[in-house]
Structure 1
Amino acid sequence: MENHGYASALTQEVEAIMALEQNVQLDPEAMEQPAPFVNRIQVTAVGPNLVRMAFGEVFKLPSGEVYKYRSAVTMATLDVQQFAELLLSITSMQAKSAQTEPQRV
């Protein structure tokens, strides 16, 4: 089957994301302290027209930086221009959100 390789690669990508999220370890004491946060988007190309976008938060703590993904999505992109516009709109929304939310506790 022609699509078997694609489905197999996508399954491996999903399994890798799940394993990554399970391996994130957070310090419970540090997480109880109020800390400023920064939203981040990590974009990884996993195929010619396939990208994984991981949305997360970085908690900046006195002991160092603790990173936690909130969610990850694998999506098809129709073309580079359309993807760039999507990324810009998300970043713009995040910038507005950061201005209206001074600090998350």
Structure 2
Amino acid sequence: MKAENERLQGEVNKLKQKLKEELARSQASVRLDMSLEKGRIRDEQASQEIKIKKADNKIEKEIANLKTLMEAIKLQILQYMFGTITGAGALILAYIRLFS
């Protein structure tokens, strides 16, 4: 009976040791998976940041182009306005001289 008890105790100890080893292996596997997932998420985040920066640069470039275009149009309007005012002034002066 005592020998049977000791044999069972030995088996229980072996099973405990085996369970500890399996648990350690499982924990290591989970840690590795989590580490790989963190790396994948970091890579994805870096990729998204690059895409955001590209979009931001494209928007900034488009805004700069629109500002340049607006300045050119503003200059053209001022030129036409100056020409119109000068022409109208010349016509008024000619009218005054003609009928004075």
Name the TM tier (shorter chain): under 0.3
Using CA pairs below 8 Å that are at least 6 residues apart, which structure has the higher relative contact order?
1
Structure with greater strand share of residues: 1
TM-score, normalised to structure 2, is: 0.28
Structure with greater helix share of residues: 2
